[in-house]
Amino acid sequence: MKKIFITGASSGIGHALATEYARRYQHQGVTIGLVARRSEHLLKIAHHLNQYYQTKCYIYPCDVREANAVAMSAQDFIQQAGVPNIVIANAGVSVGTLTDYQEDINAFQTVMDINVMGMVHTFQPFIATMQQSRVSGNQAQLVGVASVAGIRGLPGAGAYSASKAATMTYLESLRTEMQHYDIAVTTIAPGYIRTPMTDINTYAMPFLMDVDVFAKKFVDAVEKQKRFTVIPWQMGVIAKLLRLMPPILWDRLTKHAPRKRRKNFQK
């Protein structure tokens, strides 16, 4: 019986992952923990997965910025379902920010708190029990959702790019630490995926991928215990080139690039 804990499960990628795991493991059995703030969305998703795939779901309406709330959700999941095989830290927000504007300071803080600290809050309460459960032969894996936007700093997205660069580096540290306990750590860096997060973008999004297709490739990568992968692969090629590009070229390329919309961010 697989046990999977997913944050950001009320929408987009998290919802699609829960559905893909339920579909893929419906005959072997799977129990899923669903975390997000919007409880009504979680309830609907849990009901749907139970009805169509007989998947047992536990829902945890909470904010990943609140370490105690996430820890209590984790403890309850461990008590009810057992130590998860896979924990996916996927919750995240994206908004345009500019350092010139004092009113954007809150947005910087919010994006960092949710995207970076939210990931730490998600993994932390599971690690000790995962280390113990490895002794009895359980597979254990931590999966973090980063972004191609974290490979280079995008104009107008200082908070988001910095937060995703931070998650990638954090996940790499974690991977090196967890190898002593045989706990796999996987970083998934999505390109452009069709979700409510990208629906509001007015600029061209190369290699835009449907979220259901993305979820299948995501679960495949997790099963192969990949260390780092970019989905779709075409964005992976671009990401490799971006890493090599000298700063002077990056500045020229991005001088007139479109920017994510700034907004009064109150999440």
- Considering only residues 143 to 202 of the shown chain, the ones binding ligand NAP according to CB under 6 A are 145, 147, 190, 192-193, 195-198
Give the x/- contact pattern for ligand NAP in 97-136, rule: CB under 6 A. -----------------x----------------------
Q: Which of 53, 58, 160, 170 is catalytic?
A: 160
- Name the residue nearer to ligand NAP (CB basis): 78 or 211: 211
Query: What CA–CA distance (Å, rounded) separates 26 from 236?
Result: 31
Candidate residues 3, 4, 6, 12; the one interacting with ligand NAP per rule CB under 6 A: 12
- The reply on whether position 139 binds ligand NAP by CB under 6 A is no
Angle at 225 between CA 33 and CA 80, to 5 degrees: 20
- The reply on whether position 56 binds ligand NAP by CB under 6 A is no
Piece of the chain touching ligand NAP by CB under 6 A; list 89-97, 174-182, 221-229, 250-258:
89-97
Alpha-carbon distances, residue 221 vs 180, 188, 218 (angstroms): 22, 8, 5
Candidate residues 33, 92, 125, 156; the one interacting with ligand NAP per rule CB under 6 A: 92
Indicate if 160 belongs to the active site: yes
In the complex, the smallest distance separating the C-beta of residue 118 from ligand NAP, rounded to whole angstroms, is 6
- Name the residue nearer to ligand NAP (CB basis): 166 or 181: 166
Give the CA radius of gyration of the chain: 18
Q: Is the peptide bond before 232 cis (omega within 30 degrees of 0)?
A: yes
- Considering only residues 200 to 239 of the shown chain, the ones binding ligand NAP according to CB under 6 A are none
Candidate residues 4, 14, 183, 265; the one interacting with ligand NAP per rule CB under 6 A: 14
Q: Which residues of the shown chain bind ligand NAP in the complex (CB under 6 A)?
A: 7-14, 36-38, 41, 63-65, 90-94, 114, 145, 147, 190, 192-193, 195-198
Question: Which residues are marked as active site?
Answer: 160
